[in-house]
Every structure is written in C-alpha cells, then in structure tokens.
Structure 1
C-alpha cells in the first residue's frame, strides 16, 4: 500500500439521493421546505441527472468520479447501509469508527463509548502516536471517541483552539463572535480549524465530521441544506488541493467521505431514526493512491458503514483488532 495518511470527512445526515441525483425537484417545489425555489432551480437544476449532481457536487463528480470510487447508488443496486437499528447520529458515528453496530448505543445521549475505535488503535501504532486528530462540529465526538480513555486530540463544537498561531487565535475570536444558526460551531470554522491544524502540525490521520447538513434538514430548510452540501463539497475540494500541494501528503493520502445515517423520503426527508423508512440508506466515497478509479460503482452489492473502520486500518497496513466484534474491511476498496 502507498497510503501513509488518512483524511476522513463526514457529512452528518447527508442523503444518498442528492449525492447521486442532485437536487430533488419535488422538495424544491414544496414551499413548506423551500422559500426560494427559483433561486435553487437557477443554481442547481438540470434535466440531465449527471449534470444536476455535478452542479451540486462538482468535486465529487469531476474528481472523485474520475480518480476514485463512489458507493451507494441504490438505483444501480449498489447498497450501503447502517448496520445499527437506530439510524441516529451517535450510533452511526460509533459504528463507523469502532466497526461495531453496538445495540447498547441507542440515542444521542452524551455517554462515553466503551468500544475501542480505529483512531485510538492507529494512534497506538509505531510512528502514529500523537499524530491522530479530530475536529468536529458536534459536541458528541469526545464521547464517541472516548478521548478520556485514549488521549486522542478531539476538538469539538465551541472548544477553544489551544494553539498559538495567529490563524488559530483568529478562529477562536470568530467562534466567540459568530452567530449560531445550528446551535453548534459553523462547519466553515470546524473546517478551517482542521485545515490550519494540518498545515501547522502535519497529522497522519485527520477526522472532520461536519454537521450543518443534518441541522438544516431537521429544520426543514431544503435551500439551506443544499447550500451546506454545495459548500462542503467546496471545502473537500480545497482540502484535497492542499494535500496534493504538500510533499508529506501528495500521493500518500487516502480521503474517505461518508455520513452517519440517511433520511426519509418525500415529507420525511427531514427525519431519521428507527421508525423512518430508508434512513438506513447511506453512501461513501474514497480517493487516494491505492484506490482504483472505478468512479460510480455500479456493481450490485451490500456494504455496511461499520466496515470503514477496518478498511482505514488496512489502508495504513494495520489489522484493526479490539475486544468488540468488528465488521470486515471493504475488499473492493483495498483491491
């Protein structure tokens, strides 16, 4: 394997329907969810689905679709799902990082995760100690990753940034003064904190879970949800360009992008959870030096989000082991 570093980005509650189909015209033209349908139509609509999704997610469909792999287009029989039965944020993120759909984690309560996660496992490996960091929008992540047990670097929500660079101090001031439309740190500030940390401290594994997609969807604000999706695609493109400009990362870094759960359809697009049909349906994308350029994977199959944990470890040359049961790695990503 050529991969020496991993960057993982998560878009909380981002639906597979927009990833593979672009904006949803039925939701756009429902004034319950969209205040300015004309603006969304003008910016993101195209009758051709391939063009429509490219307008919404240009990096996904001009770079990852050419050089990487995208999984989860159910219209092609390529299924990616959560394995936990709850279809909620904490259970989803826990499954992703521990490889275990633990049925004891059934809500978003701030409880400390007893399962070992792949990031702390990697942090224990030679050459990776102290080189694994998380910058998250949600306050859940110190608990999901159990930073008190393993000492992982986890900066979440409005945590101050304990770094003395001018850029980090400016971000602290921006966090202090910003509006809070989703009651958490804006994703843009989470992203810039992670980017500045990468530039200054050169982590080998960087995890960036963002949150605005889920927050705006819960509020039923489709135009804001779509705006967040498009902005996060731009952040991902910006980060990939930065990685390719740095010798430590260029041609040595695999990027994985995913979510924690799906959402319902039609009027239930705002919701997820055990009673919401289709909220188990998710997706992921991957690009890097060991990833074959399959683009949009059309081969029928079934993958679960918990398989990403072991996959990350294998990409770095490690076999993820822990006391809990761990789902197997994704062979089509590795080979």
Structure 2
C-alpha cells in the first residue's frame, strides 16, 4: 500500500513538474489566407511567373524574389520564416520531402478551415462562408473561460466573417474585423488608422492587411493579451484575382508583419521568452493544372494540402522538418491550449496535440 501511494504521488508530482516546465505564457495563432505550401518551401513558381495572364511586372518579381535556387528564392520571399523560424522553430508541410500537413474538412475553403483551426473539429455541417454564428466552441473561447486568461483573449482579422467564426456574442471575445473601426479611448495611431480605413478602401479584400496588422499591434501594446488570433487575407484575394505578383508581395508583407510582431514580443517584458507563435494557412490552392492556382475548394485538386510553423520557448529548434510525417489542421487548437497548460475540450472529437511542438 505504501509503495502504491508513493507511485501515485510521484505520478502527480511528475504531472505538475511537466506543466511547471512550460515557459509559454502567451500564444499567438497567426494565419495568412490561402497561401500555398509550394511558395513557402519553393519560393516563386517559375511556371506561373512565365504566364502573362498572371503577372503584370515580371522583372519586378524576379528582382525582388527570384534567387539562383529554390532555397534562395523562398528566403527572399519569406525572410522571417527562413531566417528566424527555420533556425529557432519548426516548419512543416514540404511535401517534396514527404512531410505533409492536411486539412480534415472536406470543403477546402475558409470558414470550414478556420473553424477547424480554432475548434479542433472538422465540422461537415459548416459548408459555406456565410455569416452564421459558429456553434462550435473555439480554443479562444475555451481559454477565455479560464480564470487566469479571462479578458486576455482577442482577435484581429482582415476578413469580416471572423466575428461569426469566433462567435463574439457568445464568447465575449473582442474581434475587430473588416470595416470595424476601433472604439473607445483611442491612441493617435488608432485614430489615424480609423481614418485610413474609412477613406482608403481595399480593392481586393475587406480591408488592407496593413490596417489589420497595425491596429492589432496597437491593441497588443495597449492591452497585453495572453492569447491572440491574427489573420491576414490579401494572399487569398489577390490569388482569386489571378494577380500572382500581388499575391507574392502580399505574402512577403505578411511575413514582414509576423517578423515585426515577433521582434516586438522579444523586446517586451510581458512577452520575451514567454510567447509561442503558431503560424499556418486555412487551405491550399490548385497546382497540377497551373491555371487552377487561383482557386480552391472541392473541385480543385490538392487544396487540402497546407503548411504550418511554430516558434517559441517550449518548441525545439527542428527547423524545416524533412522527415516523412503527417500533421492535420485540427491539431492546432489542442496544441495551443497545451502550450499554456490546459487540456482543450469542447465536447467534440478534437485533433490531438502536436507533441513535437512542445518539449
């Protein structure tokens, strides 16, 4: 009996020690809509680049993003991913190396994808991008219910469907999206960004990604949230418009924004050495038929193929993972919660945590 009690005590002490060893106190989930794994791991697709239907200024793209090798090109296109995440964190989804990340939902477009990312559950009943309030509880809502995190969860996005995906009415999470102006006691920067948002509409998306980013950064600086969701959209919208050059610049800009936010976190007491970024996309795009790169959904092959990245104090520096393996989009939610020491449960069969992301 004595040995049995000692074993139980050691077991629970081990559990407590495992949680105590977590250095992560803040988690940021960041997405850039519909950005292909092909560009993430291979840089500019030269086949698309040669097609006049998709490129307006080929020389500009070549000078900005094309290198002598695929490795050089991808680093020019996504410098934060390859200069920082690939050295200090993890990158998954290079299918040329046999490393795969898939969506689980059967639709391969945005609302089903973002629900899967945030709720950990590929819900077949979510089959449109309509503005319907999500019945599934997201990891954001789950974490906002935890006493230590209550009121420390927020979201900023370019696409204006996120208040419905996150279900801001039920969850109580502040979600700034689309044409939403910032309310309340505004900083000078927020006032200026509100003015730009009112007077300089985006021709591609619900608003410019730079508005989303700088409003988000201002919110983070003011409120120091512990859980934050940030979503860019212009990669998807420019792809739908068949503007490959703008698609590439949108991806490069999103990469710069993520890098800037990481630098801010590493220079701030509340976040330095305590923050993990989980970065990914909601769906893939066409590839085999080059004219289909502009599209996605069930009728376009390969759109279930995505990528993901992680960087933070509990994440081993594996870099680009080239070993054969399979991860899924529905694993992000539980992984995010586990990094903060919580066991995510929303009553649905959610994806398991990604063990390699956490020591």
1:226: Cα distance to partner? 0.4
For the residue of structure 1 that corresponds to 2:100, the secondary structure is strand
Superposed counterparts of 1:56-95, under 5 Å: 56-95=77-116
CA contact (8 A) 1:116 1:324 kept: no
CA distance in 2, matches of 1:318, 1:183: 35
Which residue of 293, 296, 313 maps to 1:269?
293
Question: Runs ≥4 in structure 1, deviation > 3 angstroms?
Answer: none
Q: TM-score, normalised by structure 2?
A: 0.92
Report the counterpart of residue 111 of structure 1 in structure 2. 132
Structure 1 unaligned spans of 5+ = none
Alpha-carbon offset, residue 251 of structure 1: 0.2
Deviation of 1:8 after TM superposition, in Å, equals: 1.4
Please identify, of 181-190 and 241-250, the stretch whose mean Cα deviation from structure 2 is larger. Answer: 181-190
1:166 and 1:272 map into 2 onto residues whose CA distance is 40
Please give the secondary structure, in 2, of the residue aligned with 1:306. Answer: helix
Task: Tell me the alpha carbon deviations over residues 279-322 of structure 1, each in whole angstroms, 9 at most, x when there is no partner.
Answer: 00000111000010000011211111010000000000000011
Match of 1:225 in 2: 247
Aligned pair partner of 2:66 in 36, 45, 55: 45
2:9 aligns to what?
A: none
Q: Is the 8 Å Cα contact of residues 278 and 308 (structure 2) preserved in structure 1?
A: yes
1:153-211 CA-to-partner distances (Å, cap 9, x unmatched) read 11110101014222211111110111321141100000001000000111001110110
Residue aligning to 2:333 = 309
Confirm whether residue 328 of structure 1 aligns to residue 349 of structure 2: no
Which residue of the partner structure matches residue 16 of structure 2? Answer: none
For 1:253, the equivalent position in structure 2 comes to: 275
Aligned residue number for residue 3 of structure 1: 24
CA offset at residue 46 of structure 1? 1.5
Match in the other structure for 2:176: 155
Mapped to 2, the partners of 1:273 and 1:233 lie a distance apart of: 25
Question: Residue 91 of structure 1 contacts residue 106 of structure 1 at CA under 8 Å; is this kept in 2?
Answer: yes
Q: Output the CA distance in 2 between the equivalents of 1:25 and 1:106.
A: 34
Residues of 2 paired with 1:8 and 1:195: CA distance?
14
Q: Which runs of 5+ in 2 are unaligned?
A: 1-21
The alignment yields a C-alpha RMSD, in angstroms, of 0.8
Find the structure with the greater CA-based Rg.
2
Q: CA deviation at 1:68?
A: 0.2
Cα 1:160/1:274, change in 2 over 3 Å:
same
CA–CA distance in structure 2, aligned partners of residues 272 and 152 of structure 1:
30
Residue of structure 2 in register with 1:143 after alignment? 164
Contact map agreement 2:54 2:243 (CA 8 A) in 1:
yes
| Secondary structure of the structure 1 residue equivalent to 2:305 | coil
Q: Whole-Å Cα distance in 1 between the matches of residues 188 and 58 of structure 2?
A: 41
Report the Cα distance in structure 2 between the residues aligned to 1:53 and 1:118, rounded to whole angstroms: 32
Q: What displacement does 1:47 show?
A: 2.6
Instruction: Supply the distance in 2 between the matched residues of 1:129 and 1:183 (Cα, whole angstroms).
Output: 31
Partner SS, residue 306 of structure 2? coil
For residues 68-109 of structure 1, give each alpha carbon's deviation from its aligned partner in whole angstroms, at most 9, with x where no partner exists: 000000011110010000001000000000000000001111
The answer to whether 1:101 aligns with 2:118 is no
Deviations 1:133-155 (A, max 9, x none): 00010111011011111111111
Other-structure match for 2:10 = none
Alpha-carbon distance in structure 2 between the residues aligned to 1:309 and 1:40:
36
The number of equivalent residue pairs is 335
